[in-house]
Amino acid sequence: MAGVNIRSVAKTFGETQVLKRVDLDIRDGEFISLVGPSGCGKSTLLRIVAGLEQQTEGHILLDGKTVDRLRPRDRDLAMVFQSYALYPHLTVAENIAVPLTMRRLSTLDRSLMGGLLPAARAKRKDIAAEVDKVCEALSISMLKDRKPAALSGGQRQRVALARAMVRKPSAFLMDEPLSNLDAKMRVQARGEIAALHRQLGSTFIYVTHDQAEAMTMSDRIAVMMGGEILQLDTPDHVYQMPQDLRVAEFIGSPKINVVKAMHTKDGVLAVARGETPGQSIHAAFRPEAARLAGEAEAPLAGIIHHVENLGADLFVQIRLDGGDDLVIVRCDPAGVRPVIGDRTGVAIDHARLHAFGPDNRRIDGSFRLEAAQ
């Protein structure tokens, strides 16, 4: 059990700066997701915590102690890789046993001579028992004698989890462990990993580019972009109170709607038409914070471009007047079905309207969006 502290960690590869002085304090037992588009530095940060990569600057603390100079072996962490990284020539049971045999058995114990040493035999027996227990817990006991090549993607993923769990590490590091699974398996595995976290109570650091994985499993999400953490918050806050336009755009599906606007007077944003003089503001609202309305009472209007019917929701794409901008509005399929090609207005729930400045940062305060003048 350990908290993880990342203290102004920077990493450069040659000329490129991959991480720019990242600070992150992860509490003991917390499930934290590092989420961001590929190339944002999230995997590099995880590898630095693991010790597989050395930071250029800054410190990593595990359980309050600096581990910068410790090898991965001595950091008491376990990692699940995107490719699972199972040893292809070993059986499932042997794969899971590796972290234990490598740590508990001496070189002599592991040599051919080891079979003759009673102490080594006793240790091997203990290891086998622990492997059995982990297999039991993840219900992969029937796979113990198979080679990884004979397993399905979901089974491999469980074996990789089992190999990480068997040593009872103080924290788990997961590098996109679900991205090689098909969509259905992924949803199931999400639930399983979250359940595992509740049951083990260990610290989980989970790297993903899939915002849905981050939203559904984490206690807190760190949204990373361009080598920095843009926002660190609970899933609810990240979704409802994004501190940066890029966070707002990255989290949520379908994407948040963004409309350029001018700050006319206190708390009022006017929709901007075409090129705007001076500094414009981004007004953003999620599809569920808007509804189709009469043109007269709505700040935005346009032509219905497409209707996506997902069964439970209708997502209506509207091409706004005076530009190519699309906004998406969620509708109830039980209501009146919008017709493609019709004109409509878009009304916005102003309590859920966000404003972001030209620097992409959130502007606090409550705003109304009004039609262009």
Partner 1 sequence: MSLSASQNRAGLALIAPAAVLGLLFLIAPLASIFVLAFTDYQLGDRALNFIGLENFHALGDDPVFWRSLSNTLIYSAVVVPGSVLLGLISALLIDAGTSLRSFYRTAFFLPVMASLLAMAVVWEFMLHPSFGIVNAAMKALGLPPHNWLKDGSIALYVLAVIGIWQSFGFNMVLFMAGLSAIPRDLYDAAEMDGTPNAWDRFKLITWPLLAPVTVFVAITSVIRSFQVFDTVHALTQGGPNKATEVLLYTIYAEGFEFFRSGHAAAITVVFIMLVVGVSMLRFLSLKKNGASA
Residues making contact with partner 1 (CB under 8 A): 47, 50-52, 71-73, 77-79, 81-83, 85-89, 98-99, 102-103, 107, 110, 147, 149, 163, 167
Which H or E run includes 185?
A: helix 183-200
Smallest gap from residue 209 Cβ to partner 1 (A): 18
Nearer to partner 1, 30 or 176 (CB): 176
Exposure of 82 by Cβ count < 10 A (0-12 exposed, 13-18 middle, 19+ buried)?
Answer: middle
Considering only CA atoms, which of 30, 20, 37, 43 is closest in space to residue 210? 37
Smallest gap from residue 198 Cβ to partner 1 (A): 23
Side-chain-side CA neighbours of 361 within 13 Å: the count stands at: 3
Residues 6+ apart with CB under 8 A from 361: 243, 244, 245
Smallest gap from residue 225 Cβ to partner 1 (A): 25
Nearer to partner 1, 28 or 76 (CB): 76
Nearer to partner 1, 98 or 303 (CB): 98
Laid out side by side, the sheet with 343-348 consists of 290-293, 343-348, 300-309, 314-320, 326-331
Nearer to partner 1, 13 or 87 (CB): 87
The DSSP bridge pattern shows strands 31-35 and 203-208 to be parallel
Helix axes 118-137, 153-165, angle to 10 degrees: 130
The DSSP bridge pattern shows strands 4-13 and 57-62 to be antiparallel
Smallest gap from residue 158 Cβ to partner 1 (A): 16
Smallest gap from residue 81 Cβ to partner 1 (A): 5
Nearer to partner 1, 177 or 299 (CB): 177
d(CA 83, CA 153): 10
Smallest gap from residue 195 Cβ to partner 1 (A): 23
Q: Looking at the DSSP assignment, which residues form a beta bridge with residue 205?
A: 32, 173
Q: Are 293 and 347 in contact (CB under 8 A)?
A: yes
Nearer to partner 1, 165 or 221 (CB): 165
Smallest gap from residue 51 Cβ to partner 1 (A): 8
Nearer to partner 1, 155 or 257 (CB): 155
